[in-house]
Amino acid sequence: MCGIVGYIGGKNAVDIVLNGLKKLEYRGYDSSGIAVVKDEQLQIRRSIGKLKNLKENIEKNPLESNISIGHTRWATHGKPSEENAHPHTDPTKSIVIVHNGIIENYAELKLRLEKEGKEFKSETDTEVIAHLIKKHYKDNLLNAVQETLKEIKGSYALGIICKDEPNKIVCARQNASLIVGAGKGENFLASDIPALLSYTRNMIFLENGDIAELTANEITITDIENNVKKREIKNIKWDCVQAEKEGYKHFMLKEIYEQPRTIEDTFRGRIYPDEGRVYIEEIKLSKEDIKSISNIYVVACGTAYYSGLVAKFLFENFAKIPTEVDIASEFRYREPILNDKVLIVIVSQSGETADTLAALRLAKSKDCTILAVCNVVGSSISREADHVVYTHCGPEIGVASTKAFTGQLTALYMVSLDLACKKESLSKEEIKKYLKELWEIPVKIGDFFKQSETVYEVAKRFANKRDFLYLGRHVNYPIALEGALKLKEISYIHAEGYAAGEMKHGPIALIDDDMPIIAIAVKSKVYEKVISNIGEAKARGATVIIIASESDKTASNNGDNVIYVPDCDEFVSPILSVIPLQLLAYYVAVVLGCDVDQPRNLAKSVTVE
């Protein structure tokens, strides 16, 4: 996601902040900016595109100061543009801020401020924070920030400067990483360790609720009520490459472990389980528009296509709308029946996949309504769709898609419940129940990670096999396909995903003791059916690895190896059951010594037909 760097001390802060931002480039960004206080005025430079554009901007309009904050932005609210780039100020240009995260209640805060006559210059959620700090400011920046944080809900890492207090930076953290670097006669601030490693290895990892005030010589940490907090200074021994991966061996592993947060970021501010309410600001379809939809086509490629296969169950069971799912490269040449009653749901992490984009354009030319689920703001697909629901996963660097997939599943689950609310095809109680199930998923994934060692043991045991069969049924059939794809992509082992009930119509002939079967057998209405399919395989000598629900006391009778996942409702279960399959593919590839993040022959974004 976005990067933050700040500096206060005796050196030129601009050089230090730019250098720190450069170290965060690997995280991906679409614009950047920097702010300083000079001669009692705030000065800001912002540029779209790469950091070199910001540097050129600064060369033309020089900046120098002993205090600065800077930011690289990965767009979430509002397209990549200079106006939306950070830092943002209040209208009087007294307060300047940089922000990572998402402010859930920014729309209502913005409305309130607009009614008070305040004008906004950007489409971001961040700008409201600058306005609020100014509103609360009397003569103490720290107090104004504390009062502001009482009003905002969501996740944030914030760096803030006030032109009237040019000797301090205030920063705050809630569910977004923020680190204070301790120097001699200078102090630093950053969202991530690599930004600071050239300057200091002494770092304080702020905790949720911490608000830090940095001067050149002091670091004071308080909370929202001004209680002082004591935090340990840690000495970081990582080199730069280790720090980029936050200590994980590969980006893919880091991204697998990020999923509790990326899923939460994707539903944050959009679902309200207690009220049974879904609010997806980007969907502008009225109740009448939704009632007039005759059918849905979900169109995508690769992993995104598998998320579409899960979505078919959701659109049909929740919103009661007939749904077909198409591989984009097939859809565009098969002359599907399209008209203005058809809703096309395009799913793409990158928003640039050539076949998916061509499918979108075809559907548009036939007057269909296009709703895209996409991870990259400002991408071609997001620009050309009528409605875009962004997955807030941040840049995905590993070529094998992991967090983008669970982000897509989360977004599609919310969209289907939004349609169901508007169509009244589910009762309020049902909607509440399904929303609560989604709400609980991040914690359940976190719990599952305690068993990663079990997955590693399974990987070691089976990494020498050359063929795998993945089985699943109902909503977990697409997860069998995705599990097989993950293994193929990064370990180059042949793997097939199959609908468990279909196995006896052919693939059963392949079964011998040399082809392990991975079966997703979590609690659902097809549980007994999957178990009897597993029985058919075992009777032919197969070794079976089962992904089972924690409460399943009989799982070890059915599988040779069991990987347990927390219990959940069947419709949300794909988000959980895919996690062990991602980890299994990862560990097998590691055992085999494969290049996990850059598998052979694959590109992250396929922009050719």
Binding region for ligand M6R (CB under 6 A): 301-304, 348-350, 353, 356, 399-401, 489, 602, 605-606
CB of 148 to ligand M6R, least distance (A): 37
Q: What minimum distance in Å lies between the beta carbon of 350 and ligand M6R?
A: 3
Nearest CB to ligand M6R, comparing residues 65 and 356 = 356
Beta bridge partners of 429: none
Is residue 519 within 8 Å of 547, Cβ to Cβ? yes
In the bound complex, what is the minimum distance in angstroms from residue 602's beta carbon to ligand M6R? 6
Q: Is 604 a residue of the active site?
A: yes
Cα dihedral 14, 17, 23, 29 in deg (nearest 10): -100
Paired with 505 in beta bridges are none
- Look up residue 192 and give its two tokens: 């991530």
SS3 state at 188: strand
Amino acid letter at 14?
V
What is the nearest approach in angstroms of ligand M6R to the Cβ of residue 349? 3
What is the torsion angle, in degrees rounded to the nearest 10, for the CA atoms of residue 321, residue 322, residue 325 and residue 328? Answer: -80
**Closest CB to ligand M6R: residue number:** 302
DSSP code at position 87: P
User: From CA 186, how far away is CA 188, in angstroms rounded?
Assistant: 7
Contact assessment for residue 24 and residue 3, using Cβ atoms and an 8 Å cutoff: yes
Q: Could you tell me the smallest distance in angstroms from the CB atom of residue 301 to ligand M6R? A: 4
Whichever of 222 and 350 has its CB closer to ligand M6R, that residue is 350
How far apart CA 347 and CA 443 sit, in angstroms, is: 26
Write down how long the chain is: 609
Task: Give the nearer residue to ligand M6R in terms of CB position, either 204 or 371.
Answer: 371
Q: Looking at beta carbons only, is 300 or 511 nearer to ligand M6R?
A: 300
Rounded Cα–Cα distance for residues 499 and 119 (Å): 56
How far apart are CB 255 and ligand M6R at their closest, in Å?
11
Question: Which CB atom, from 32 or from 350, has the smaller least distance to ligand M6R?
Answer: 350
Quote the strand ranges of 400-539, DSSP E.
Answer: 467-472, 494-499, 517-521
Which residue among 2, 171, 301, 393 is the active-site one?
Answer: 2
Residues 6+ apart with CB under 8 A from 587: 455, 456, 458, 459, 460, 463
| Shortest Å distance, C-beta 364 to ligand M6R | 17
DSSP state of 491: H
Give the nearest distance from C-beta 607 to ligand M6R in angstroms: 9
The CA distance from 440 to 191, in Å, is 27
Which whole-number Å values give the CA distances from 7 to 40, 70, 151, 219, 364, in the listed order? 17, 9, 27, 12, 49
Q: Which is nearer to ligand M6R, 303 or 416 (CB)?
A: 303
| Residue 79, C-beta contacts closer than 8 angstroms, at least 6 positions apart | 123, 377, 378
Choice among 153, 423, 436, 604 that is catalytic: 604
**Cis link prior to 62 (omega < 30° from 0)?**
no
Whether cis (ω within 30° of 0) applies to the bond prior to 87 is yes
d(CA 393, CA 407): 6
Q: Report the C-alpha gap between 324 and 320 in whole angstroms.
A: 13
If the CB atoms of residues 1 and 400 are measured against ligand M6R, the closer one turns out to be 400
CB nearer to ligand M6R: pick between 345 and 521? 345
Q: How far apart are CA 17 and CA 68, in angstroms?
A: 7
- Catalytic site residues? 2, 604
